[in-house]
Amino acid sequence: MDPVLRALVDGAGGVVTRAQVCQVVQRWVFESACRDGHLRRVLPEVYVDARLVAAQTPGPAGIAGLGPYPRRRAALAHVGAAGGLSHTTALDVWGLRPQGAEEPVHVCVPKNSGLRDRPGLVVHHRRQVAVVARRGLPVTGLERSLVDAWPLIPPAERVAPVIRAVNERRTTPQRIGVALAAAPKLTGRAELGVLLDRLAIGCRSALEIWGHEHVFSGPGMPPFERQERIKVGERTIYLDVYAERERLDIELDGAASHGDSRQREIDLRRDALLATVGIMVVRFSHRRLLTQSDQVRREVLAILANRPVGRSAA
């Protein structure tokens, strides 16, 4: 390849447009590079270094034959400055859910752009496109990305990015709710709204949400506090499900903690410390909560009925 063209391609991360190339070399140099197989067209007016294209991809490669980074750069070169990565592609850039190699790149562009879907590329048109810079790439905002991606993620996986974003304090259920209100026709909108309600009252995991819906609410159950902050001496402890009047803390042990002797020792020390201020700790495993929810509920009600009430908080 012509050395000037090679320098341009390498400096652009292997992705260039026809207009960029023709600004620095003559047209015949560009055409020669394409004819000799050094550059491959992957989208209209967008070309990549042929070394980035999977060897088994014959003919017009499209962006499906590229790795994640050049694939996204090619999509952005195609949509221009007015667009940005969105939906599940944006979630990957935000670091909340890796996008599978078989999943298309999603972009948002202005409604009047005239761009359309291509193999490996899904184009979403909006009246207004708001993007921010993330890892050097323009992407839709975190809250809008979470909302847009919701119906595209398999049901068993879709709650995890939302919970993680809230747990890591990158956003709040209220801010996601504002983005949800701007998408009235979103598929699965009601389910996302329920998840945001659960997160707003303090649930911080899928297990806690299950517990709230199937065990720790309804007749006989007190108004539990979720993730209640308790200070014991110099230590601050967060309680999963806390009945303040009965001073009962119910801890929901996730599947990952089962059989972990180190975590077990940490839990025992924590429970003993809470006992010094009159807080009783009861633990339920992930398995019991999911498979014996009725029995767990009866046990909780029996414990609550036998707890003294009226003691002051720590």
pLDDT digits (tens, 9 = 90+) for 17-72: 999 999 999 999 999 999 999 999 999 999 999 998 875 555 555 788 788 899 99
CB neighbours of residue 59 within 10 Å? 6
Which range has the worst mean pLDDT, 31-35, 65-69, 206-210, 211-215?
65-69
What does the alpha-carbon distance between residue 253 and residue 27 come to, in Å, rounded to a whole number?
A: 65
User: Is pLDDT at 313 greater than 60 in this prediction?
Assistant: no
Pick the CATH number of 3-66 from 1.10.287, 1.20.1070, 1.10.10, 2.30.30: 1.10.10
Q: What is the pLDDT of residues 129-149, one digit of tens each?
A: 999 999 999 999 999 999 999
Residue 176 has pLDDT above 60, yes or no: yes
Mean pLDDT, rounded, for 11-18: 93
Six token digits for residue 22: 């023709």
The pLDDT, as a whole number, for residue 257 is 52
Residues forming beta bridges with residue 253, ordered by sequence position? 285
The answer for residues whose C-beta is within 8 angstroms of residue 249's C-beta and 6 or more apart is 239, 240, 241, 242, 274, 279, 280, 281, 282
Give the C-alpha distances (Å, rounded to integers) separating 38 from 23, 66, 73, 77, 222.
18, 15, 18, 19, 70
In the chain, residues under CATH classification 1.10.10 are 3-66
Amino acid at 104: P
Rounded to an integer, what distance in angstroms lies between the CA atom of residue 220 and that of residue 223? 10
Least-confidence region, from 46-55, 86-95, 208-217: 46-55
Closest CA to 148 of 208, 198, 82, 96: 96
Q: Considering the entire predicted model, what is its pTM?
A: 0.84
Range of 177-191, 214-228, 244-258 with top mean pLDDT: 177-191
Side-chain-side CA neighbours of residue 275 (13 Å): 8
Q: Can you tell me the mean pLDDT for 196-214?
A: 92
Handedness of CA 213, 215, 217, 223 (dihedral sign): negative
Cβ(163)–Cβ(199) under 8 Å?
yes
Which residues lie across from 47 on neighbouring strands? 16, 41
Instruction: Select from 3.40.960, 3.40.50, 2.40.30, 1.10.150 the CATH code of 216-305.
Output: 3.40.960
Supply the pLDDT for residue 314.
42
Percent of the chain with pLDDT over 90: 77
Condensed to tens digits (0 to 9), the pLDDT of residues 101-114 reads 889 999 999 998 88
Question: At residue 310, does pLDDT exceed 70?
Answer: no
CA angle 16, 48, 116 (to 5 degrees): 80
